[in-house]
Structure 1
Amino acid sequence: MEHQGVPLMAGSSQTPVAAVRAGRTIISESAVAKVAGLAARSVPGVHALGTGAGRSLGSTGVRAEVGATQTALDVNLVAEYGIELQQMADGVRAAVYVAVENLVGLNVSEVNVEVNDVHLPGAGQQKLPGRSRHSAFAVRAAAGERPAGYGEQL
């Protein structure tokens, strides 16, 4: 379709493509941090994001510095006991790189991962905000079991 010689966007009968090209998009640091946090939580072995004090204050455990075309991220997390910490941190880093570059469209200059604690299964029955669904995974890992695909490059 065309509107006075300008092609229209798919799914819209009113908005010319040329009109979409003008203007600026600003993606906030909190939006980038949220995408990164969701990616980090998806990695097996991540128990929660943030520190104990930070979680109680509502902190997400992810901080983003956003520039015009790139971002740098700091991820602070609690790991499940029995997980190989360096391997889990590498998985978090890879997941954050992929999610932020693909969903946000910014180049990721670095992802720093800080493991500030290790959660012991059964230690305290308090459910933590951001708690991972991978507790059973950690128990199996502590027993020496490794599910298929664990540790493969993302």
Structure 2
Amino acid sequence: MAERPIKAAEAGNAPSGSSSGHSIQVSALESDKGRTAIADSVVAKISGIAAREISGVHDLGKGVSRAFASVRQRVPGGKPNVAQGVSVEVGERQCAVDLTIIVEYGVAISEVAHAVRENIIEAVERMTGLEVVEVNLSVDDIYIDMGDDDSSSGRSLQ
């Protein structure tokens, strides 16, 4: 993710609501009883799960990270890394998300990207109260299903 400081207006002085038409209550993170800080990893996990909910998204992350994740999941007790391929910047009231996706062959990439962006914005804003100022997507690969029942039968073009 490119180094991009969130401006003062973005980090806390902006009015509630987002440019995407979603209305959020930003002040929910602060009250006279205290403040709520949300870790980058929380926003990354929410974003990763929301992206994977979209039909046409095969996986997230670049080739090497996907290979390591595959090995890690095969180890007894290994858990999937739902934040794989996701990078976030979280300010006091706003956040930005960058993610790398692998799409399935035959899908309209622009439509998948739009659906992923909207789903991430909705999920993050609803669950955290943060305003999502941008969701940047990078399509790293295309997954081709070779037709076998084995989940490892698909092939990636690289």
Give the residue type in structure 2 aligned to 1:39: A
Change over 3 Å in CA distance of 1:79–1:23 after alignment to 2: same
Return the offset for 1:126. 5.6
Alpha-carbon distance, 1:57 to partner: 3.9
Identity of aligned residues (%): 40
Equivalents in 2 of 1:68, 1:100: separation in Å? 14
Counterpart CA distance in 2 for 1:86 and 1:78 is 13
The 1:26/1:83 distance shift into structure 2, 3 A limit, reads same
Counterpart in the other structure of 1:24: 35
Q: Which letter does structure 1 place at the counterpart of 2:122?
A: V
Give the partner amino acid of 1:61: G
**SS in structure 2 at match of 1:115:** strand
Residue 39 of structure 1 corresponds to which residue in structure 2? Answer: 50
Q: For 1:104 and 1:61, how far apart are their aligned partners in 2?
A: 20
Greater gyration radius: 1
> Please, what TM-score do these two structures have when normalized by structure 2?
0.63
Distance, in Å, in 2 between the alignment partners of 1:37 and 1:123 is 26
Query: What is the CA distance between 1:32 and its match in structure 2?
Result: 0.2
The residue identity in structure 1 corresponding to 2:65 is G
Unaligned segments of structure 2, at least 5 residues: 1-30, 70-82, 154-158
Residue 108 of structure 2 corresponds to 84
- Give the 5 Å matches for 1:64-83: 64-83=88-107
Residue 5 of structure 2: aligned partner: none
Q: CA deviation at 1:21?
A: 4.8
Displacement of 1:30 after TM fit?
A: 0.6
Q: Does 1:61 align with 2:85?
A: yes
Q: In 1, distance between residues paired with 2:59 and 2:140?
A: 10
Structure whose residues are more often helix by fraction: 2
Structure 1 residue 23: Cα displacement: 2.4
Which residue of structure 2 lines up, in the alignment, with residue 100 of structure 1? 124
Structure 1, unaligned runs of 5 or more = 1-19, 129-154
Residue 76 to residue 123, structure 1, CA distance change in 2 (3 Å)? farther
Equivalenced residue count is: 109
Q: Which residue of the partner structure matches residue 142 of structure 1?
A: none
